[in-house]
Amino acid sequence: MRLTAITERLAGLGGGKWEVHLKARQMAAAGADLIEMTIGEPDVPTPPELTGAAAQAMQAGRTGYSDGRGEAHLRAALAEAYTDSRGRGFGPENILCFPGTQTALYAVLQGVAEPGTEVLVGDPMYATYEGVIRASGADMVPVPLRPEAGFRMQASDLAARITPRSRAILLTTPHNPTGAILTPQDLRDIGALARQHDLWIISDEVYEHLVFEGAEFVSPLSDPALSDRVVAVSSISKSHAAPGFRSGWCAAPEAFCTALLPVSETMLFGNQPFIADMTEKAVREGSSVASGMASRFAARADLLVQRLHAETDLRVHRPEAGMFALIDVSATGMDGDAYAWDLLEHGAAVMPGSAFGDSLKDWVRVALTIDDQSFAAAIDRIAAHANRKTRSVA
């Protein structure tokens, strides 16, 4: 039977990136003594006030069809929140609601990219970005995020890769997997290139509320000079420990939202009213769990840096936000893929950096979301394993 071109474009971009994680789950199910640090989920359950709000809304009959743009009261709440946090005005007409950031990204890319165009994105990148770009038919153009620049996108690296086919720049700030945050100057420089070459800026800001002490998040949405070309996507998955509820949105120019609405309605025709009610509560009241998560994740990152730098030849990039840290494993003589598979046999599961881009071939990503006791035990295993490997290299 014949299939379409999109299946060819996306071939190999699905679960293959998560082979180490899936193998770890199989080993754990079979009884292996294994500490999993592969994926990042909040380390607390969804707050009961939110699950209670969703249940109450269901019991009240909020289970019918939704407005294709998203429930009006949720869009109003989001518009008010963005007006307060970005320093310029937003209205409900600037918001479209989706089931999670991933769906929002897919729809937005359908709206700005197509076959024959290019989307520039930082390398390393979140594992699904290549898929959402290629699904549109566009070509992905990786822009190296260099460790010596703190893994922040540099305008000079971006400028060198812009062509007449370029259509959009996909940013992540705070970044996954590096935890880097773009500075105001970074955004001014990137914004100047976007204006010069008439490019969209798509900003994935899902980790906005998991910024560590001493760091500061700034959104390109805050710059009035970019108001006609920035589309931000986010959700309550990280900030409110509610990944399974799949509630996200995009904030964008009114004309963009109007043009994208038929794409959104073709995909899903609005999010679930009872989840919208819960999300409105989350947006209006803020998160009761985000600051605690950020504090714990920062402390675990600091412990990882302190111990591995003191006890091994591994080097850790300390994140400024988010749920992950990166470890340079080149001192072991292995690349990140070989290292992750070898470490799996010694009781700890981490993600090979290559799952997030070619530039991380000598790195692995570790989740900071497991409990403190398990995290310390995992560091024990990583340190012992690294020292065995570096001695054998020497």
| Alpha-carbon distance values, 311 to 9, 90, 267, 332, 386 (Å) | 44, 50, 51, 14, 9
| CA of residue 81 relative to chain centroid, distance | 21
pLDDT at residue 393, as a whole number: 59
Per-residue pLDDT, 392 = 65
| pLDDT at 1 (0 to 100) | 83
First to last CA, the chain: 55
Amino acid type, 143: V
Q: Are 172 and 242 found together in one domain?
A: yes
DSSP letters along 167-188, please?
Answer: EEEEEESS-TTT-----HHHHH
The answer on 311 and 258 residing in a single domain is no
- Looking at residue 390, its pLDDT comes to 81
Same domain membership, residue 63 and residue 18: no
Expressed as residue numbers, the domain containing 168 is 49-285
Instruction: Give the pLDDT score at 394.
Output: 53
Per-residue pLDDT of the chain (394 residues; tens, 9 = 90+): 889 888 888 887 766 678 999 999 999 999 999 999 998 889 999 999 999 999 999 999 999 999 999 999 999 999 999 999 999 999 999 999 999 999 999 999 999 999 999 999 999 999 899 999 999 999 999 999 999 999 999 999 999 999 999 999 999 999 999 999 999 999 999 999 999 999 999 999 999 999 999 999 999 999 999 999 999 999 999 999 999 999 999 999 999 999 999 999 998 887 899 999 999 999 999 999 999 999 999 999 999 999 999 999 999 999 999 999 999 999 999 999 999 999 999 999 999 999 999 899 999 999 999 999 999 999 999 999 999 988 665 5
Question: Is the domain of 136 the same as that of 206?
Answer: yes
CATH of the domain at 91: 3.40.640.10
Last residue of a domain, one of 242, 267, 285: 285
Question: Are 151 and 23 members of one domain?
Answer: no
Q: pTM higher than 0.85 for the full model?
A: yes
Say if residue 241 is in the same domain as residue 371. no
**What tokens were used for 43?**
């380390």
**C-beta separation of 146 from 154 below 8 A:** yes
Q: Are residues 74 and 179 in the same domain?
A: yes
pLDDT at res. 40: 86
Q: What pLDDT is stored for residue 265 in this prediction?
A: 93
Encoded tokens for 213 = 């002490």
